[in-house]
Chains A and B, each alone.
Chain A
Amino acid sequence: METKQVINWLQLFTDKVGENKAYLSDLDTPIGDGDHGANMARGTSEMMKSIEEKNPQTPTEVFKLAAMTLISKVGGASGPLYGSAFMGMTKASMQSDDLVSILEGGMSEIQKRGKSEPGEKTMLDTWSRVIESLKDGSLTEEKVKEISEETKEMKATKGRASYLGERSIGHIDPGAMSSSYLFETMIEAGVK
Chain B
Amino acid sequence: MKKIMNQTDDILNEMLEGLSYAYSDLVTRIPETNVIVKKNISGSKVGVVSGGGSGHEPAHAGFVGTGMLSAAVCGEIFTSPTPDQVLEGIKAADDGAGVLLVIKNYSGDVMNFEMAKDLAEMEGIEVETVLVDDDIAVEDSTYTAGRRGVAGTILVHKILGHAAESGKSLAEIKEIGDKLVKEIKTLGVALTGATVPAVGKPGFVLAEDEIEFGVGIHGEPGYRKEKLQSSRKLAEELVGKLKDEFNWKSGDKYGVLVNGLGGTPLMEQFVFMNDVKALLEEDGLVVDFKKVGDVMTSIDMEGLSLTMIHLDTPEWTEALNAPVTTIAW
Task: Give the interface of A toward B (CB within 8 A).
Answer: 68, 71-77, 79-81, 83-84, 87, 113-114, 159-160, 162-163
Does B287 sit within 8 A of A, measured CB to CB?
no
Most buried by A among B80, B112, B143: B112
Closest 9 CB pairs of A and B: A72-B84, A80-B111, A80-B115, A71-B83, A72-B82, A80-B112, A77-B108, A77-B111, A113-B111
A-B contact count, CB below 8 Å?
47
Q: How far is the CB of B77 from chain A (nearest CB, A)?
A: 12
**Residue of B with least CB distance to A73:** B82
Q: Which of B79, B80, B112, B142 contacts A160 (CB 8 A)?
A: B142
* Chain A contacts for B83, CB-based, 8 A: 71-72, 79-80, 83
Is B82's CB under 8 angstroms from A71's CB?
Answer: yes
State in angstroms the CA–CA spacing of A83 and B87 once bound together.
14
What B residues does A113 contact at CB under 8 A? 111, 114-115
User: Is B169's CB within 8 Å of the partner chain A?
Assistant: no
B115 x A84 contact (CB < 8 A): yes
B107 at the A interface (CB under 8 A): yes
Asked if B115 contacts A71 (CB within 8 A), the reply is: yes
Q: Evaluate whether A163 and B141 lie within 8 angstroms (CB atoms) in the complex, with A77-B111, A81-B111, A113-B114 already known.
A: yes
Cα separation A111 to B163 with both chains bound (whole Å): 34
CB distance from B223 to the nearest CB of A (A): 15
> Taking the complex as formed, is B318 at the interface, i.e. its CB lies under 8 A from any CB of chain A?
no
- Residues on B lying within 8 angstroms of A by beta carbon are 76, 79-80, 82-85, 107-108, 111-112, 114-115, 118, 140-143, 145
User: Does A79 contact B143, Cβ atoms closer than 8 Å?
Assistant: no
Write 20 A-B pairs (CB below 8 A) sorted by A numbering.
Answer: A68-B84, A71-B83, A71-B115, A72-B83, A72-B84, A74-B82, A75-B76, A75-B79, A76-B108, A79-B83, A79-B112, A81-B111, A83-B83, A87-B118, A113-B111, A159-B107, A160-B142, A160-B143, A162-B145, A163-B142
Chain B residues with CB under 8 A of A74:
82
Are A114 and B79 in touch, CB under 8 angstroms?
Answer: no
Cα-based distance from A164 to B114 in the complex (angstroms) = 26
The answer for the CA separation of A113 and B113 in the assembled complex, in Å, is: 11
Question: Complex: how many Å from CA A10 to CA B324?
Answer: 50
- Complex Cα distance, B111 from A76, in Å, reads 9
Residues of B within 8 A of A76 (CB): 79-80, 108
Chain A residues with CB under 8 Å of B143's CB are 160
Q: Tell me the smallest distance from the CB of A56 to a CB of chain B, in Å.
A: 18
In the complex the two chains form, what is the Cα distance from A55 to B118 in whole Å?
A: 25
CB A67 to nearest CB in B, in angstroms, measures: 10
Residue in A closest to B142 when the chains form the complex, CB atoms? A163
Closest-CB distance, B250 to chain A (whole angstroms):
40
The interface centre, meaning the residue of A73, A80, A113, A114 with most chain B CB atoms within 10 A of its CB, is A80
Name the distance in Å between B125's Cβ and chain A's nearest Cβ.
17
Q: How far apart are the CA atoms of A112 and B82 in the complex, in Å?
A: 18
CA distance A90 to B109 in the complex (A): 24
Residues of B within 8 A of A159 (CB): 107
Is B82's CB under 8 angstroms from A75's CB?
Answer: yes
A32 to chain B, nearest CB (A): 10
Whole-angstrom distance between the alpha carbons of A126 and B96 in the complex? 42
A113 shortest CB reach to chain B, Å = 6
Q: Which residues of B contact A71 (CB under 8 A)?
A: 82-84, 115
List chain B residues, Cβ under 8 A from A83.
83, 115
How distant is the Cα of A54 from the Cα of B66 in the complex, in angstroms?
A: 40
Task: Give the distance to chain B from A106, nearest Cβ to Cβ, in Å.
Answer: 14
Complex CA distance for A80 and B110, rounded to whole angstroms: 10
Cα–Cα, bound, A87→B119 (Å): 10
Query: In whole angstroms, what is the CA distance A159 to B140 when docked?
Result: 11
Which B residues are in CB contact (< 8 Å) with A75?
76, 79-80, 82
- The CA-CA distance from A81 to B107 in the complex, in Å, is 11
| Min CB–CB distance B128 → chain A (angstroms) | 17
- Taking CB atoms, residues of chain B closer than 8 Å to A77 are 107-108, 111
Residues from chain A with a CB closer than 8 A to the CB of B80 are 75-76
User: What CA separation (Å) do A73 and B81 show in the bound complex?
Assistant: 10
- In Å, the complex CA distance between A77 and B106 comes to 10
A6 to chain B, nearest CB (A): 22
Per the bound structure, the CA–CA distance linking A58 and B112 in Å amounts to 27
Q: How far is the CA of A71 from the CA of B111 in the complex (A)?
A: 11
Give the docked Cα–Cα distance between A182 and B46 (Å). 41
Least CB distance from B144 to A in Å reads 9
Known: A80-B115, A84-B115, A113-B111. 5 other contacts (CB 8 A): A72-B85, A77-B111, A83-B83, A83-B115, A163-B140
Task: Write out the residue numbers on chain B whose beta carbons fall within 8 Å of the beta carbon of A162.
Answer: 140, 145
